[in-house]
Amino acid sequence: MAETYLSRHPGHIPLGTLDEMADLYERVYAEPPYDSAPKFSRARFASRTREQALTRDFTLITARRDGVLAGYTFGFPMPPGAWWAAASRPSAAILAAPKFAVIELMVDRPRRREGIGRALLSALLDNRPEPYATLAAVVNADAYGWYLRNGWRKTGEFRVEPPFADALLLDLPR
């Protein structure tokens, strides 16, 4: 069996990788329940990701199998007082704490159920100084249940643009 190689890219996206990421993004977000909704367009992803990569302490982790991008995750710190722009507010204690925002966690369909998502997320979140990680998960997606089974809990809702999502929170080890 081929081995999966994880690579950490702190503070940048390697040249050419954004196109590969956007290809995978399009494939995943064409699946139900996302169904290529406008907020999941390639153009919006590329624009948003280029901007997010400029964020202080942005970190990208990629997974490759046989030289092919099998998955990726990226995020950056969310300072105390900050929260998702379109989500309902969490408790005052969570809002006041620093958090790490997981912006994307993506695994290609043929590579799912091989532990790649867990390995990517672990590599992204291991040794983070923040007490919490947070992400947006589409309510009817298979990934939503996976997050809940892995310790994430609902702490807010995104109900502006379908498909609707929840803000999830994970306590990080200190």
Tell me the pLDDT tens digit for each residue of 106-145: 999 999 999 999 999 999 999 999 999 999 999 999 999 9
For the chain, domains (ranges, CATH) are 4-171 (3.40.630.30)
| Single-letter amino acid code for the residue at 118 | R
**CA pair distance 153, 148, nearest whole angstrom:** 6
Tell me the pLDDT tens digit for each residue of 45-62: 999 999 999 999 999 999
pTM tops 0.85: yes
Tell me the pLDDT tens digit for each residue of 81-100: 999 999 999 999 999 999 99
Q: What local confidence, expressed as pLDDT, does residue 2 receive?
A: 75
% of the chain beyond a pLDDT of 70: 99
Q: What local confidence, expressed as pLDDT, does residue 136 receive?
A: 97
Q: How far is CA 160 from CA 75, 136, 157, 164, in A?
A: 22, 13, 9, 7
